[in-house]
Structure 1
Amino acid sequence: MPLTRKAYRAAILHSIADPAEVGIEASYEYFEDGLLVVDNGQISALGHASELLASLPADIEITHYQDALITPGFIDTHIHLPQTGMVGAYGEQLLDWLNTYTFPCESQFADQAHAEEVAEIFIKELLRNGTTTALVFGSVHPQSVNAFFEAAEKLDLRMIAGKVMMDRNAPDYLTDTAESSYLESKALIERWHGKGRLHYAVTPRFAPTSTPEQLTLAGQLLSEYPDLYMQTHISENLQEVEWVKELFPERKGYLDVYDHYQLLGERSVFAHGVHLCDDECARLAQTGSAVAFCPTSNLFLGSGLFNLPMAEKHKLNVGLGTDVGGGTSFSLLQTLNEAYKIMQLQGARLSPFKSLYLATLGGARALRLEERIGTLQPGTDADFLVLDYNATPLLSYRLKQSKSIAETLFVLMTLGDDRTVAQTYAAGNLVHQR
C-alpha cells in the first residue's frame, strides 16, 4: 500500500492523565490552533500548527476545520448489541425489564440475517456518535458476535465483543449449557481474537444466569488465552445483589463469586458497580479490574448512583458505558450529561476534563489499550473525532459566549449529541461523515 500522510488543523484537545491523580491542569493538552498528522492510520505528530506546518512536505493534504474541536474517539466500555431494537422500553427495573423486553429481543439473534442487519445499524450508530471502540455484549448466539466482528473488520475498527454465556434463570429459548458456551466461545476466540484490531471478551451475562460449572469454564478460557477480556455485570440493582446472595450463600458477596471463579484481572470489566462497598472497590483495584460507569441506564432503570469518588479513592480504573438498551442513547456526550447530574445528586463535582478522561483515556486504561487508543499521542491509532461548534443553533449561540476551553467542553457535553459529531475517523479512515 502507498504511504498515506494527511494532516488535520483545528482546535485540538486530549487527556494525558487522570485529573483525580495529577490535578486538572496537568491532565490535558489543548492546542487552540493545532495540527494532527496521520501516517498510515497512525498519529505521527501533534502540536501547534505554527510550529508543525513548516516541517511538512509541500504537497501534503491538510484539512482545516473552522469552529470545531478534534478529540480522541470515544470509548464505550459497556453496551449490548442485541438490545438495539428495544432501547427506550418503558417502565421496569432491572430484573423485570430483562424478562419483559430484553430476553424476547435477544432471541431474534438466532437468525443470521437479523444478526447481520442489527450489527450494521449498531456500528453505524456507534460511529455517528463518535464511538470508535466499544466493549460489546452479543447475545447467547455465536452468530451475533460473528456478524458484529465481520462488520467491524470491514472498517478496521478496534472493537471487543463476546457471546453471552447463560445456562440458567433465563428462558429455555435463550440458554446454552456450560459445555456448549465453552466450545462456542473457544471457536469465536480462535476465529476473531487478535485479528486486525479485534479482541474477544469472555462474557458470562451475570452471576445469577450462570451455574458454577459455567463460571468455572469461563475462568478456564481466561487461563487458556492470557490476553482475553472478560466482561459481566455487578451490583447494578439491590434486588439483584440479594438474589446473588441467595444463589451463592457460600460466598462473601457478589464480587467474591467472580473472584472465586478467577474472573478478576487486568482485562476484566464489571458493568455498573452501583452498590459496591469499599472492600470490593479495593479488591477490584488490587486485581487490576475495571468498572464501567453507566449513568444513563442507572437512572433509566432506577438502579442507583455510582460512587465515583469512592472508586477514585481506591485508584480503581473506571470507563464510561452507554449500556444501550438500558441506557437510552449511543452518545457518550449525552452519557456525560447524565454522569454530571449523578455526581451533583451526591454532592460531588464532575469537571469537564474528568468527563473527557472517562470518555477517552480512562476507557482506554480500563481496557489496557492506552498505548493504542484514548489519546492523540504520536504512535497511537488515528481514531479521532471532529466536533462541530455550530451543530445546532442553540449550541452555536451558547458557544459564542464561552470564555475558556473548559466552558466549551462542558457545553458540548451538556448540549451535544450525535449531531455534534461532524466526522469520525478510525485508523485514519473517515468512517462517518454527518
Structure 2
Amino acid sequence: MRPSRIAISGIGVASPFGAGRECYWDHVKQGRSGTRRIDEFDPSQFACQVAAPLPALCVDQAPRLESHPSLDTQAGDDVLRERAEARRYSRASLAAVIAAREAWHDAGLRMGEPDAGVIIGTGGGGIELGEKQYREFFTDGLKRVTPYAIPIAICGMLSSEISIALQLHGISHVLSTGCTSSTDATGYALGLLRAGEAEVLLCGGVDACVTPGMIYGFSRMRVVSTAFNDVPEQASRPFDATRDGFVLGEGAWMYVLEREERARARGAHVYAVIEGYGSTCDAYHRVQMDPEGIQIVRAMAMALQRAGRAPESIGYVNFHGTSTQLNDAIEIRCVRTVFDGHADRLCGSSTKSMVGHPQGASGACGIVTTALALDRGFLPPTINVTHLDPACDMDVLPNQGRAIQVEAALCNCLGFGSKNSAVVMGRAQ
C-alpha cells in the first residue's frame, strides 16, 4: 500500500542563468551551459578558473505577495521594504528569498500563511560573506567588519530569512549534510507533512560557494575541472571519457510541499508528487565513495520501497552526475544494480552538466528539474558528452533532451562524508 503522496505545488529558482523558473527551464531544456570564467575575483592563481556562479540578483526580481487576512498588510510591506537592500543578505540568502517568493506566489499562497513553515538544505550558507569578512579583518583590521557578519553568514539564518520574507511562523529549519542537504531536507519535510505536523512547507536548497577559498580548496583536492579553463562551457561533462572534475555551481531551487489532496482542494497546479525517500551512509571515507556502492544501492532501493514502486515503473533518473572520474562510474554501476535488466530501457541525465555542482542545493536542483520534466513531458539532456565512457554505459540523454512522458522518476544524490540520499517522484494525475 502506497503512502500518501506529497505534492509540489509551487516552484521558484535563482540559477546561474538568472532569476525565475521559466528562465531556468528554458536554458536546461535547450541544453545550455551556465559555466563561465570566474570574474568575481582574479582566478589566475588557481588551477581551476571556471565556475557556474549566480549573476547579480535583486529582491525585486521576485513577485510581490498578497498578505493573509490575519497579517497586517502594512506590516508585511514594511518587512519587504526594510530588507530589500542587497547588502543585508549573503548571496545565498538573497537567492533563497527570491526563489522562495517565486515558489510561494506560484503556489497561490500568501504572506503570513498559517500552519506553514520552512525546511531547506545548504552546504556553506553565507560562506562568501564570512570569507570576505575574515579577509578584510586580517588585511584591514577592525575597520571594515560589518556587524551583520555573523547573523548573515551562518547556515541557520537561511531559513529565517525566508520565514521573515514570507512572514511564516511555523517550523524554520536548515539541514546541512553536505551535498545531500536539500534531498535530506525534502525527506524531513515529507515525514512532517505525512504525520500532519505541518500543512504546507517551503522546501529546497541553496548554496553560493564560488569564493577564492572554495576554488583554491577544491583545486587542492583535485576534484574540480582544470583542463577546460579556455572553454568553460565544456568543463562540466558527466559520463564523458574526458571528464576531469566537477564545476562549482551556485543557485537556489525552492518548492512548496503539501499533501496532494490539500493542493487539489484549493485548485493549485501540481507539478509532480514526492512518493518516497531513502538515506544511508557508506561510513567509508571523508570524500570518496565506497567503490562497492552497497549503501548507495540501498538508499535508492529504500526510496523505491517506501514509495511502493517496482523499479520497472521508473522511466527517468536524475543522476547526481558530478563529472568526476570515479563517482560517475560508481553511480552508473549502482543504478544498474538497482534496476537490473530495466537499466537498459531506462534513461537519465545530469543537470550538473549545465549548472555545475551547487553543493548542498544539488538535490533540490534535481527535484525541481525532475518535477518540471514530469509536468511538461520533456527530459533534459546531459551536455558535453562527446565520447561516452564505457564505464558509464547507460542512456544518459547525450547532448539533446527528449520529448517523452514518464510516469515516475528517481533523483539520486551523493555527498562527501559517505552520505547517500534518493527521492522517488511520480507524475501528477
Shorter-chain TM-score above 0.5: no
TM-score, length-scaled by structure 2: 0.34
Greater RCO structure (CA 8 Å; 6+ sep): 2
Q: Name the one with the larger strand percent.
A: 1
TM-score, length-scaled by structure 1: 0.34
